[in-house]
């Protein structure tokens, strides 16, 4: 794994910088002497972080990723201030808990508007500048739930799967132009995700209680009693891992963060391979008889 030396201060543009991994990453990048455009729906929530560093190193901007006009304005201001964007981090997002049938149409669309369409709009706004530079790195913050689905999080999984799908294609499109793509797949990190970034579906269907009831109860207990849920992942270490990937001459397409995420993804890969092998004969026997199928 080759790590390149950073010859100049890079300009980072991070969405959802007010909390969680976004804030941890912004703070760590600033501590390492680089420049960050921090964005949040409410810039007041990041003013304290910006004030801790020289004004030419940090810029706070208002950005709701569901509003294309705010995306265009934020990118415009970032380019006007610093002249370029070297690293885009699509981090803004939230989770929704509920069976597929329980989440309202509005809830589904709102989830996709933020977690998928918002990220898509941001990267499509930044890409022309990176193409002109013939350089850049885009980190799309997905989740272990962008690779593995779980009961009760299907709508969230769907949005993250969609983000990963376009990221895979995008990597093949822009690598010849000097632009790198990394999908970040964190497991459980201590970011207060449940108390700050999780919505529980209003509808509750009894038939799903045996499947997701315990998960729903646990989330509500944390929310109602404002409990601390001690996830194993350290956000600071996640930030350092992301920076290491950006510093690499050969960054991964997927950066998996956390042993829990590695375990879940390995289990799915093994399951898919086992099923693929078990049904191989049925699968290949769908060709026309005159077509030779490689064994």
List pLDDT tens digits, range 73-126: 999 999 999 999 999 999 999 999 999 999 999 999 999 999 999 999 999 999
Residue 241's closest CA among 89, 63, 35, 45?
A: 89
Domain co-membership, 265 together with 248: no
Q: What are phi and psi of 197, to 5 degrees?
A: -130, 25
The domain spanning residue 194 has which CATH number?
3.40.50.720
pLDDT at residue 148 is higher than 90: yes
Residue 5 belongs to some domain of the structure: no
Active-site residue, selected from the candidate residues 142, 143, 167, 180: 142
Mean pLDDT check: name the lowest of 37-41, 63-67, 146-150, 193-197: 193-197
Is the pLDDT at 68 greater than 90, yes or no? yes
pLDDT at residue 198 tops 70:
yes
Please determine, for residue 6, whether its predicted confidence score (pLDDT) is greater than 80.
no
Q: Are residues 205 and 76 in the same domain?
A: yes
Euclidean distance between CA atoms 69 and 226, whole angstroms: 35
In the annotation, is 263 catalytic?
Answer: no
Longest dimension (CA), the chain: 71
**Cα-Cα-Cα-Cα dihedral of 132, 43, 120, 27, to 10°?**
70
Q: Which residue's structure tokens are 């270490």?
A: 237
Please give the torsion angle defined by the CA atoms of residues 222, 223, 224 and 228, in that order, rounded to the nearest 10 degrees: 40
For residue 19, indicate whether it is catalytic.
no
Q: 274 with 194, same domain?
A: no
Confidence of residue 224 (pLDDT cuts 50, 70, 90): low
pLDDT of residue 294: 61
pLDDT at 110: 96
Range list of H helices, the chain: 20-31, 47-51, 68-82, 105-112, 119-133, 154-174, 193-197, 209-225, 235-247, 259-278, 280-284
Claim to verify: residue 203 and residue 291 sit in the same structural domain:
no
User: Domains in the chain: how many in total?
Assistant: 2
Of the chain, the percentage scoring pLDDT greater than 90 comes to 79
> Is residue 120 a part of any domain in this protein?
yes
- Kindly tell me if the per-residue pLDDT of 155 is higher than 60: yes
DSSP letter (8 states) at residue 113? I
152 and 273 together in one domain: no
The single residue of 18, 156, 167, 180 carrying the catalytic annotation is: 156
At 31-59, the pLDDT tens digits run 999 999 999 999 999 999 999 998 899 99
Percent residues over pLDDT 70 in the chain: 92
| Angstrom distance (rounded) from CA 134 to CA 174 | 9
Alpha carbons 82 and 11: distance in angstroms, whole number: 7
Q: Which pLDDT value is given to residue 7?
A: 45
Is 156 a catalytic site residue?
Answer: yes
Whether residues 267 and 212 fall in one domain:
no
Which residues are registered as beta bridge partners of 255?
184
Backbone angles phi, psi at 164, to 5 degrees: -70, -35
pLDDT at position 215, please?
87
- Domain containing residue 168: 11-257
Q: Is 199 helix (H, G, I), strand (E, B) or coil?
A: strand
Q: Quick one: 66 and 204 in the same domain?
A: yes
Pick from 57, 160, 158, 39: nearest CA to 108: 158
Query: Tokens in use for 280?
Result: 């191989």
Asked if residue 295 and residue 164 are part of one domain, the reply reads no
């Amino acid at each position: 794994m080759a790590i390149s030396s950073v010859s100049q201060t890079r300009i980072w543009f991070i969405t959802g910088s007010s909390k969680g991994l976004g804030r941890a990453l912004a703070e760590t990048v600033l501590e390492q002497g680089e420049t960050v455009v921090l964005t949040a729906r409410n810039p007041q929530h990041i003013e304290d972080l910006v004030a801790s560093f020289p004004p030419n190193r940090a810029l706070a901007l208002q950005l709701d990723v569901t509003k294309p006009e705010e995306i265009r304005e934020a990118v415009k201001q970032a380019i006007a201030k610093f002249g370029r964007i070297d690293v885009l981090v699509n981090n803004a997002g939230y989770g929704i808990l509920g069976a597929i049938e329980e989440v309202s149409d509005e809830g589904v669309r709102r989830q996709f508007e933020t977690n998928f369409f918002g990220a898509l709009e941001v990267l499509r706004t930044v890409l022309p500048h990176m193409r002109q530079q013939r350089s850049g790195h885009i980190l799309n913050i997905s989740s272990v739930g962008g690779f593995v689905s779980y009961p009760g999080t299907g709508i969230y999984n769907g949005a993250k799967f969609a983000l990963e799908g376009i990221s895979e294609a995008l990597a093949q499109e822009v690598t010849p132009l000097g632009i790198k793509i990394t999908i970040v797949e964190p497991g459980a990190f201590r970011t207060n995700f449940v108390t700050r970034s999780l919505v529980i579906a209003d509808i509750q269907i009894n038939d799903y209680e045996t499947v997701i009831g315990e998960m729903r109860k646990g989330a509500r207990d944390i929310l109602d009693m404002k409990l601390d849920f001690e996830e194993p992942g350290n956000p600071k270490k996640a930030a350092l891992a992301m920076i290491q990937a950006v510093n690499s001459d050969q960054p991964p397409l997927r950066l998996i963060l956390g042993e829990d995420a590695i375990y879940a993804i390995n289990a799915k890969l093994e399951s898919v391979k086992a099923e693929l092998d078990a049904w191989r004969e049925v699968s290949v026997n769908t060709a026309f008889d005159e077509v030779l199928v490689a064994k």
